[in-house]
Amino acid sequence: MREHLGMSVPSAKETSYRPVIAIFVTALLIGLAVSWVANGTLVAARMPEYAVATAMVLLGLQKLQDVESFSTMFLNYDLLAQRYVPYSYVYPYAETLAGVLMLAGAMLWLAAPLALFIGTVGAVSVFKAVYVDKRELKCACVGGSSNVPLGFVSLTENIAMVLMGLWMPLKMLL
C-alpha cells in the first residue's frame, strides 16, 4: 500500500526499535490501568512494578511464539546459553512466569530470584557482547525473528528485571 501511494517501504532486514518500544509503551499503559483499578489512581507506589512485570510477560510471550528461533538468536550472545543450551529454551518460560507472579504479588520467593538470575545473566551477556566485544547483533528480546539491535534497550530490559528481583524482597521487609 505504501509503495502504491509513492511512500518509502522499509526493508524487511532494516533494524528497528519499533517492536520493543511498542511493548514498553503498552506495558506502561497496562501498568497505569492496573494501578487505576487496584488503587483508584494512575500513579501509585506499585505502578512501576505493574509496568515492569507486564513488560516481562509481554516480552516473554513474544519469545514463546517461536522458542526455536528465539533460542537460535539468543545463543549468539547469552553466556549461560552458550555453555548450557537448554537454558535458551527455558528462558522465555522463566521470564513470563516471573512477570506473572510479580504482577500477582504471589510466590515472590520464586519470582524475585528468578528475575534476578535471568536479568543478571542477561545484563552481563549483553554488556560483554555489545560493549566489550563490540559485536553488532540482533536482540532476541522480542523473539527470534526481530530486527531490534542488541544494545541499550536489551541492557535496560535486563537491568529492569534485576531491579525487580532486588526490589520485591526488599519491599516485603519494609
Residue 2 has pLDDT above 90, yes or no: no
40: left (phi over 0), alpha (psi -120 to 50) or beta: left
Nearest to 150 by CA among 126, 169, 114, 122: 126
Is residue 9 one of the residues assigned to a domain? no
Is residue 7 one of the residues assigned to a domain? no
Containing domain of residue 97, as a range?
A: 18-173
How many structural domains comprise the chain?
A: 1
Radius of gyration of the chain (CA): 17
Q: What is the pLDDT of residues 14-69, one digit of tens each?
A: 778 888 899 999 999 999 999 999 999 998 988 999 999 999 999 999 999 999 99
Distance, in Å, from the CA atom of 140 to the CA atom of 154, rounded to the nearest integer, reads 9
pLDDT for the residue 150: 86
Is residue 159 one of the residues assigned to a domain? yes
Helices (H) and strands (E) in the chain, counts: 7, 0
Which is more confidently placed, 148 or 57? 57
Place of cell 500500500: 1
